[in-house]
Amino acid sequence: MARASSFAQKFVKSLSTLWSKRSNVLWSDIATCSVTLAMIKPDAVMKMGSIIEAIFDTGFIITKAKMVQLNRMEAMDFYSEHQSKSFFTDLINFMTSGPIIALEVIGDDAVSSWRKLLGPTNSCVARSESPGSIRARFGTDGTRNAAHGSDSIASAARELEFFFPSSGGRGPKNTARFTDCTCCIIKPHAVSEGLTGKILNEILSAGFDISAMQMFTMEKANAEEFFEIYKGVVAEYNGYLSDYPITEVCVQICNTHSSLESIKLGELKVGLNGFYRLCAGTATAPKCPQA
């Protein structure tokens, strides 16, 4: 397995039975699996839900995810192999024009399987030769083609290390703003059931912007700390904790309502209550003890 993290191996093993039932990949046969980088480019970030849904539906498991904004130096480093090409400047300008989403995906022959799902590099060609592919559905041309995939096992190892360093570094900075936003956690059962893309689509279609995203492992001790404010307040508290065994993952998303440009405190409260209603289907968020 190419540079698969120990977490990825544990994750796949723990979900092998579930995923073998809902996909065409037999996850119990770990030896056939490999990892690759899937990257959603700036032109398709608003389509992240549909792209992630396609990834799950094809049988991949997403084991890492991070939304980042590449600076010019980082983009040039990532695409250094294309430095002598005529399209290099346009490519760098495009890749630094907005946030991107880097994903570590694991599956059967991941590199070639993901590139097959991507389709031809030029989206115009993809629409005629592979109309169901990611680039045919969401891309525009040969540069603004929605997504990227590593072209070899060696490239996958280098590119995954770029975004998700194994040496303890952080890689490119995430896009979290921590202002005028709220936090949404997509819980492990929803992730393992392949519902992440559908949930992201619901958030976006409700008028919220997703300004940051990261997938991570949450142990029970972390869950207890995160949900401490709800202890003794909501009856579901113990259920919150049972959802977070060590091999499960969550996706953290900061959301800013798209219509709130010059935001006021009252407008922010309405926006947050609106997001709570979207998630929970109730009128207002539960009252918690004051800090």
Range 191-210 average pLDDT: 88
71 is in an annotated binding site: no
Selection from 19-23, 146-150, 172-176, 248-252 with the highest mean pLDDT: 146-150
Mean pLDDT of the region 181-209: 86
What pLDDT shows up at residue 244?
Answer: 54
Q: How far apart are the first and last CA of the chain?
A: 47
Helix orientation angle between 110-118 and 153-163, rounded to the nearest 10 degrees:
80
H or E element, residue 67:
strand 61-68
Q: At what angle do helices 196-205 and 48-57 cross, to 10 degrees?
A: 160
User: Contact 258/226 with Cβ under 8 angstroms?
Assistant: no
More confident residue, 74 or 214: 74
- Per-residue model confidence (pLDDT) at position 14: 42
Q: How many angstroms separate the CA atoms of 216 and 230, rounded?
A: 22
Supply the pLDDT for residue 32. Answer: 63
Q: Could you give phi then psi for residue 237, rounded to 5 degrees? A: -55, -50
- The pLDDT assigned to 278 comes to 67
Phi, psi of 205 (to 5 degrees): -70, -20
Query: Coil, helix or strand for 19?
Result: helix
Contact 208, 256 (CB under 8 A): yes
Query: CB-based burial of residue 107 (10 Å sphere; 0-12 exposed, 13-18 middle, 19+ buried)?
Result: buried
Choosing from 23, 257, 271, 275, which is the catalytic residue? 257
pLDDT tier for residue 288 given thresholds of 50, 70 and 90: very low
**CA–CA dist 30, 43 (Å, integer):** 34
72 annotated ligand binder:
no
> Which residue type sits at 67?
M
* pLDDT band for position 2 (cuts 50, 70, 90): very low
Please enumerate in sequence order all residues whose Cβ is within 8 A of that of 12, keeping only pairs 6 or more positions apart, or say none: 19, 27, 30, 33, 61, 63, 106
Confidence of residue 290 (pLDDT cuts 50, 70, 90): very low
115 is in an annotated binding site: yes
189 belongs to the catalytic site? no
Provide the pLDDT confidence category of residue 272 given band limits of 50, 70 and 90.
low
Is 22 annotated to bind ligand? no
The domains located in the chain, with CATH, are: 6-163 (3.30.70.141), 182-280 (3.30.70.141)
Q: Out of 78, 148, 197, 212, which one is annotated catalytic? A: 148
Average pLDDT over residues 223-250: 69
pLDDT at 206 over 70: yes
Active-site residue, 82 included: no
Count how many Cα atoms sit within 13 Å of the Cα of residue 155 in the half-sphere of its side chain.
15
* pLDDT tens readout for residues 53-92: 999 999 999 989 999 999 999 999 999 999 999 999 999 9
Q: Output the pLDDT for position 182.
A: 81
Over residues 145-163, mean pLDDT? 96
Contact 87, 143 (CB under 8 A): yes
Encode pLDDT of 17-61 as tens digits.
334 433 444 444 455 689 999 999 999 999 999 999 999 999 999
> CA-CA distance, 290 to 97, in Å (whole number)?
41
Q: Is 179 annotated as a binding residue?
A: no
Give the Cα-Cα-Cα angle 169, 150, 211 (nearest 5 degrees): 55
**Amino acid 271: pLDDT:** 56
pLDDT of res. 19: 41
> For all residues of the chain together, what is the average pLDDT?
79
Q: What is the pLDDT averaged over residues 214-234?
A: 83
Q: Is 121 annotated to bind ligand? A: yes
